[in-house]
Chain A
Amino acid sequence: MTLLQIKNLHATVEGREILQGVDLTVNTGEVHAIMGPNGSGKSTLAQVLAGHPAYTVTAGSVLYEGKDLFAMTPEQRAREGVFLAFQYPVAIRGITNAYFLRSAVNAIRKHRGEEELGPVEFMDALEEKLKVIGWDDSYLSRPVNEGFSGGEKKRNEILQLAVLEPKLAILDETDSGLDIDALKTVAQTVEKLRRPDNATVMVTHYYRILTHIQPDFVHVLSAGRIVKSGGKELAQELEEKGYDWIREPAAVA
């Protein structure tokens, strides 16, 4: 089933056009990797899909489960199952991770017409997820991302991913700045969450994570467009040859 359909997407930030006609289709059960050099628009694409207010969509369309994604607010997208793991997760002072996670879970449960979870029920459900990312519950009583190391912040995004179980997970450079153990944890979690009815889009700069997560498709984004798509062997090729050979959109023909 088609989960996400991006057509001719153009987007600007502060008047600069970053996305210049992105086309991409993601079906349920698939894992896509979007690679590309710095400044190619990878993070912009991720943020536009999540609804970052700083970006303006100037042309094109995105259908999520057949519905117009841009007609939805960021919170509506989240409640409908879109999740963005932030490249730079934000610290929330004074609010514990446990409270934040429960608020997020309950916002989604409420939207689905399910009963909201109390603190105790929620903690029970959380125990298992914590094990998945190799955390003890001391992280739950700390304020969200406050004083977390870079790696801890990324793990916290993955914990949210595991707890919220989205239909469409977009990982924005979640692998950057991680040591190999953390990287494996992230990869294992993503693999574990893989189901026939959901999909993952991984934005990444590095080949490294793709040795732990097997993508079905690899796309190269350059100058705001997808200039090449292929299977996981494309990632291997990029690792060996770099991006230069592909930078010009030769496939235009």
Chain B
Amino acid sequence: MTEQYVADFKAFVGNGAGGAPAWLTEIREGAIARFAELGFPTTKQEEWRFTSVAPIAETRFALAHAAGARLPSVAAIEPLLVCPRGGPRLVFVDGRYAPELSSVGGLPRGVHAGSLAVALAAGRNGDLARQHLTRHAGWHESAFAALNTAFLADGAFLHVAANTILEQPVELLFVATGGRREQPTVSHPRSLIVVERGAQAAVVECYAALADDVYWTNAVTEAVVGEGARVEYYRVQREGRRAYHVATTQSRQERDSFFGLHAVTLGGALARHDMLTLLDGAGAELILNGLYVLGGSQHADHHTVIDHARPHGASHEFFNGVLDQRAHGVFNGRIIVRPGAQRTDSKQTNNNLLLSTEARADSQPQLEIYADDVKCTHGSTVGPLDQTALYYLRSRGLSPETARSLLTYGFAAEILGRMGRADVRDRLDRLVRAALA
């Protein structure tokens, strides 16, 4: 199927490819060539041992965005939003910005939120985008990131100028229409978030669907957190039940910055999310906080890399999975402490709750430590509900059903509790409760 994408790419470029600047055209050409070289990964590759992408590789996907396609109504979009109505939001339909469904009025001075395609077209935002776009998320090693880069056309561009405080969370909603039933489609949303020195922002990036058709989202987001900046980034994946979702999130943190990455995975038939974080300034702090709640025959694979490149960094990673029926959860957590990244404090935990005998979880920590004065711990668990805890709750008058649902919810609530923003947390709490019900 690799050739098919190369052919599609030629057609895409032939159609003007969204009128991209020359520097981007060059990167795209390189990316499609790299994709052709790499091909789709197979389970023979260590990084893909537990996740077969054959269903994606063997399906013919057409580019989702069709010019002149009818947009969904605001009423159809609103139930999919995580943040309260009236807040700033960018809505993308099949990967393309839909200004009619978006709302960016009332943003403070120094904040730009809009379409990446528009930003790339010209001006100061074009220069800003050029400075960062494709510079952080490496596509040389990942076929999916390469493919996203080749077809890079649109997505969100958020820029928060130095020392600007953005009080309200900005929601980025990526909606798949599922569209043409006879032809599965793919979109390659590409987002760039740049929060400059001393600024503060919260972003909620959400993937959702309007139909339960087969489609594929292949997303990449790059986030740059400047010196002393603080960013809370929420990523909510609730794609359709038959959807494929592959994504890379790459962050780069500068000195004394804080980045909270909260990933909640509820949807999709097959999902793979690579979260790559680089702590590239002394004293940077990262919270990598994830929750996956899966049922049916859902498969979700989370690969995380925490790269401590500078001293005095701190990273706290917590991933919990709740797996029911025949669901399969995969967690791979790699922590790298580079030479010279002394006084690094890194903690990783992955807990998996199996609610059925057919559910499965694979958990793999990988520590690569090249500095000697560091504190690194990791731990993982896979198992059913704790019988002793069940009995303890029953001995306090709770029914077995209540006790079970309380323990299960507690597994999820542990992750929700680490989210910095109460408003977003409350919304996600509702989504998670619904997923557990």
Contact = CB atoms under 8 A, between A and B. Distances in A.
A and B: bona fide binding partners: yes
Contacts of B395: 50-51, 74-75, 77-78, 83-84, 86
Contact of B409 (A53, A94, A107, A160): A94
* Most A-side CB within 10 Å, residue of B392, B397, B402: B397
B47 interface: no
Interface residues of A, number: 29
B409 A75 contact: no
A143 B410 contact: yes
B396 A94 contact: no
A94 B414 contact: yes
A93 interface: yes
Given A52-B391, A53-B387, A74-B391, A107 B410 contact: no
B393 A92 contact: yes
Contact of B389 (A79, A92, A111): A92
A164 B412 CA distance: 27
A51 B393 CA distance: 12
Contacts of B391: 51-53, 74
B407 interface: yes
Contact of A93 (B387, B388, B399, B414): B414
A78 B392 contact: no
Interface string A94-126: 110000100110011001000000000000000
Contact of A95 (B386, B387, B400, B406): B406
Interface string B34-72: 000000000000000000000000000000000000000
Contact of B397 (A86, A89, A108): A108
A52 to B, nearest CB: 6
B394 interface: yes
A104 to B, nearest CB: 4
Contacts of A104: 396-398
B417 interface: yes
Contacts of B399: 75, 107
B413 interface: yes
B411 interface: yes
B398 A94 contact: no
A44 to B, nearest CB: 14
B389 A78 contact: no
Interface string A60-76: 00000000000001110
Interface in B209-256: none
Given A90-B386, A92-B389, A94-B417, A107 B411 contact: no
Contact of B411 (A74, A84, A93, A164): A93
Contacts of A93: 351, 410-411, 414
Contact of B413 (A73, A77, A94, A107): A94
A78 B396 contact: yes
Given A75-B397, A111-B397, A89 B392 contact: yes
B410 A92 contact: yes
B391 to A, nearest CB: 6
A73 B394 contact: yes
Interface in B372-394: 386-389, 391-394
Given A93-B410, A94-B409, A103-B402, A78 B397 contact: yes
A172 to B, nearest CB: 11
Interface in A157-211: 160, 164
A80 to B, nearest CB: 9
Nearest to B392: A90
A28 B205 CA distance: 61
B409 A95 contact: yes
Contacts of A53: 387, 391
A91 B386 CA distance: 10
* Most B-side CB within 10 Å, residue of A92, A93, A160: A93
Given A75-B399, A103-B402, A103-B406, A94 B394 contact: no
Nearest to A80: B397
A160 B389 CA distance: 16
Contact of B394 (A74, A111, A164): A74
Contacts of A51: 391, 394-395
A108 B400 CA distance: 14
A50 B397 CA distance: 11
Contacts of A83: 395
Given A53-B391, A90-B386, A103-B402, A164 B409 contact: no
Contacts of B398: 75, 103-104, 107
Nearest to A86: B392
A95 B412 CA distance: 10
A111 B402 CA distance: 14
Given A73-B394, A75-B397, A86-B392, A95 B402 contact: no
A73 B417 CA distance: 33
B414 A75 contact: no
Contacts of B410: 92-95, 143
Given A52-B391, A90-B389, A92-B389, A107 B396 contact: yes
A105 to B, nearest CB: 8
B394 A78 contact: yes
Contacts of A84: 395
A52 B388 CA distance: 9
5 contacts: A75-B398, A77-B395, A93-B351, A104-B398, A107-B398
Given A103-B396, A143-B410, 7 more contacts: A51-B395, A78-B397, A92-B392, A92-B410, A94-B416, A94-B417, A95-B409
